[in-house]
């Protein structure tokens, strides 16, 4: 007997049990026996289909000379189907590079084909490199609390750089879905 047949049998028995309780006028037992499974199924569906929004992520940046440290915290729980890594996108003046980037990384990042994921992400976001600017993409492990730090080149201020946090979600049998949150330079 396959899983589908077993599930169908359980569903039929569940409906038959409810019909029997209604016939016997056992409404209190009916409420308990039918209400609990429906509540459990509803909670499971809510957990599986929950998706965080960009407003659920708070990131603050502090400056120490040319070294910047960002602390991030998700205000709500992370989604069940989150991708193993998120990305930071730095938009810098041409010829400039963010250096000394320190962040938590997904342990199997070297086994992933990160270039294809990054290309897909940029296409999905519609990111075009502005004239006289270039993009630097850095992966970061998705976690409830995180910290990353970086150095900007001499003569480049944080106002010259746009930083975006890109969250990735990967549901089974579906493509990767992204959203972007711009990190405000304060």
Same domain, 25 and 58: no
Same domain, 89 and 164: yes
Question: How many structural domains is the chain composed of?
Answer: 2
Same domain, 92 and 173: yes
| Mean pLDDT per 10-residue interval, the chain, length 186 residues | 60 74 66 68 70 82 86 81 79 81 72 71 71 78 86 83 84 77 76
Please tell me the predicted confidence (pLDDT) of residue 137.
82
The domain of 45 spans: 3-49
**Residue pLDDT, tens place only, 61-106:** 888 888 888 888 888 877 766 777 788 888 888 778 888 888 877 7
**What is the Cα–Cα distance from 88 to 63, expressed in whole angstroms?**
18
- CATH at 114: 2.60.40
Task: For tokens 């459990």, name the residue.
Answer: 40
Same domain, 129 and 158: yes
Same domain, 19 and 81: no
**What is the Cα–Cα distance from 132 to 129, expressed in whole angstroms?**
8
Rg (CA), the chain: 24
Rounded to the nearest angstrom, the gap between the alpha carbon of residue 75 and the centroid of all alpha carbons in its chain is: 13
């Amino acid at each position: 007997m396959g899983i589908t047949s077993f599930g169908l049998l359980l569903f039929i028995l569940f409906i038959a049990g409810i019909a029997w309780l209604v016939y016997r006028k056992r409404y209190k037992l009916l409420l308990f026996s039918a209400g609990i499974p429906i509540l459990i199924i509803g909670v499971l569906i809510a957990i599986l289909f929950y998706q965080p929004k960009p407003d659920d992520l708070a990131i603050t940046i502090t400056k120490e000379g040319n070294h910047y440290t960002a602390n991030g915290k998700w205000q709500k729980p992370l989604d069940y189907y989150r991708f193993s890594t998120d990305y930071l996108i730095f938009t810098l003046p041409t010829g400039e590079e963010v250096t000394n980037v320190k962040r938590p990384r997904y342990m199997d990042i070297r086994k992933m084909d990160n270039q294809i994921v990054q290309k897909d992400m940029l296409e999905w976001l519609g990111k075009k490199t502005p004239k006289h600017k270039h993009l630097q993409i850095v992966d970061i492990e998705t976690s409830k609390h995180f910290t990353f730090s970086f150095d900007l080149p001499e003569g480049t201020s944080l106002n010259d750089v746009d930083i975006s946090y890109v969250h990735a979600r990967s549901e089974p049998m579906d493509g990767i879905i992204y959203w972007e949150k711009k990190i405000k330079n304060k």
